[in-house]
Amino acid sequence: MLSGRTLEAVSAMPESSSRNFDLFAAVLFLVALLFHAQAFALAPKTEPGWKVLDIRQQPQGLPQNSVSAILQTSDGYIWVGTRQGLARFDGVRFTTFDARNRNQLPESDIKALVEGDDRSLWIATHGGVSRFKDGQFTVYTTQNGLLSDFTASICKDTEGGIWIGTWTGLSRFKDGRFTNYTASDGLADSGVPALNCNSDGSVWIATRNGSISKFYNGKIVPHVEGEPKPNSPIKAFYRDRQQALWIGTNDGLFRLKDGRSTHYTSADGLSSNLVQALDEDAQGNLWIGTNAGLNRYQNGKISSSQLPVEVAHVPITAISDDREGNLWVGTAYDGLIRLHPGEFVSYTKENGLNSDETQAVMEDDTGTLWIGTYKGLIAFRNGAFIPYSARNGLPSNRVISLAQDRSGRLWVSLEDFGVYRSRAPLRCAGGPCAPESTTFQNVIPGVYARTIFEDRSGAIWVGTDETQGLFRFKDESATTYSVYTAQNGLPSDIMGGLSIRDLAEGEEGELWMATKAGLGRYQDGKFRVYRESDGLVNSFVDSVYMDSSGVLWIATYSGLSRLKNGRFTNYTVNDGLYCEAIYHMVEDNRQNLWMSCDKGIFRVSKQQLEDFAEGKIHSISSVVYGSEHGLSSSVASEGYSPGAYKSR
């Protein structure tokens, strides 16, 4: 919270000393974005990209940059094992522990971490194991009954027993004593680099020679049904929520389920066949750390798309998700990286968009999203981008505004070429809107139309730039229209310029116009202009929006104005508004008003705006979204419509 502005910047994990890491729960149903100049829409369900929240290395308090283990304990702390010590992160800073105090850690090279039933932390090292409970460490070595001090893996079974894999066999600690198991008890090999304690009480044991054993009902079964035969040692075990066992090896990734084994390699999308770390997040994504980057298994496929470059090609040695939805990624040399899924989905040329410069976006009545860019018209449906071009009758690719009329026809404005309308309704849900069967006709040649709008009577209004005026089509044929200019009372500047930038209809059928010379209203054949002298916060109006309760919102270059019951209320940065110049607005289903500007996207509660207007409060809170939430740009487009759209 910034003092004096009541400006709230959303963080996926606030820098707070609270052990519980209480977070703002960002609205996840929200936004798809089209960049560089960004039109934004409350979007269809699409997987957001992941963003780096921070990278922590030695200068930020980590003992050393080679991370070997990560665990969030029940008290909220994040514990990080490195080759030179253990660190505890409280949300702000690290507290470190190492072998300089042998009563804390017998050795600084941390191999694995697990939490006990009593909320103690067990730490496996190459000098024995240590137990941290109530601020005190207890060290266990061979002198206390541990099979070997060279420990490599650790897990907790359903009875609260702690299993420790060592390089000479297996130890279990329960009720203050160790029980040890070696090859003579059925282990396929003495070294145990990986363990998995299953919910059915069994313990799965990976041995150094690549074999898998299982401890169940008091004995070790040397081989399991469907056991893969890796060609190299096992590096990692993970049991997912479907009870599939994932096995990371030097020869790729294996999935063992119901006695069947499936093998994944670089041919299936792995960045490398050396798999060193595994973790499943709350959404069911399996994260795979290889010596060449981070991968994700989702819906039967392995990929590294939509992952930040910071984790794309570096050796990954540890992965753990926390209860706030963050993914903590340990690297071999580059420290600890914290990722968070963005609340926004960004569509760019990498996803199939024809250009990163988008000017307008709208959804038609079939659920197809139409996008106007400087490289042409695009339809987005069923996850695919479909381009329209000159062969469809559009002589230019520079699309600046869009609209659909009640007959289903699409209206398209081309920069300097005028307004075009599809010759037939585009019913994409039924299939007849394929580019090869779609053509457009020019209905107003040569105009620079920034906005196209259909009122409740079915009339189409076209707002243009400079002295061209406001056009009104009288019928569906789109062959006859009326033109209104400054001579009819349209708002114009001292040079006679009009620049109608947006249109909206009021509850009484009046037409509202955003212009650079004021807020225009057309009703009963007459125009009226509202400027600063009438109470508007600024006469340069970029967009207008009529909300669900009949309140008119006016975006200007100096803030936001609200018109209700004939009275203006103004909101500026001094009142808590995030930006001075507001470009576009859209209302969501939770009574928030979303706005874009040259600094990004933010939202304000409509209840707060109402309370401010009534004098109940003296400032408002802007909830701001940035790159950490998935935005790939912070500069929105202006002057074309629709620049913001909420999907049906």
Task: Decide which of 531 and 383 is more confident.
Answer: 531
Element at 402 (helix H, strand E): strand 399-404
Q: What is the pLDDT of residue 598?
A: 84
Q: What is the pLDDT of residue 230?
A: 63
Q: What is the pLDDT of residue 231?
A: 64
Q: What is the pLDDT of residue 7?
A: 40
CA count, 13 A, side-chain hemisphere, 431: 0
Q: Average the pLDDT over 359-367 and give the result.
A: 88
Task: Please check whether the domain covering 343-446 is classified as CATH 2.40.10.
Answer: yes
Residue 9 has pLDDT above 50, yes or no: no
Q: Average the pLDDT over 592-616 and give the result.
A: 94
Which pLDDT tens digit goes with each residue over 484-520? Answer: 988 888 887 655 567 899 999 999 999 999 999 999 9
Q: What is the pLDDT of residue 281?
A: 93
Boundaries of every domain in the chain: 51-340, 343-446
User: Using the 8-state DSSP alphabet, how is residue 292 labeled?
Assistant: T
Q: Residue 516 in contact with residue 501, Cβ under 8 Å?
A: yes
Cβ atoms within 10 Å of 98's Cβ, excluding its own: 18
Supply the mean pLDDT for the chain: 86
CATH number of 51-340: 2.130.10.10
Under the banding of pLDDT at 50, 70 and 90, the label for residue 430 is low
Q: What is the pLDDT of residue 305?
A: 65
Q: What is the pLDDT of residue 632?
A: 65
Cα gap 620→314, rounded to integer Å: 44
The two structure tokens encoding residue 155? 């897990």
Q: Of the candidates 80, 91, 51, 58, which has an alpha carbon nearest to the alpha carbon of residue 333?
A: 58
Residue with tokens 């020679």: 209
What is the four-CA torsion angle of 305, 311, 313, 316, rounded to 10 degrees? -120
Under the banding of pLDDT at 50, 70 and 90, the label for residue 12 is very low
Alpha carbon separation from 72 to 80, 83, 114, 366 (Å, rounded): 9, 19, 9, 45
Residue 417 has pLDDT above 80, yes or no: yes
Q: Residue 420 in contact with residue 440, Cβ under 8 Å?
A: yes
Which pLDDT tens digit goes with each residue over 130-186? Answer: 999 999 999 999 999 999 999 999 999 999 999 999 999 999 999 999 999 999 998
Q: What is the pLDDT of residue 278?
A: 98
DSSP helix/strand/coil, 607: helix
Mention every residue, 6+ apart, whose C-beta is less than 8 A from residue 350: none
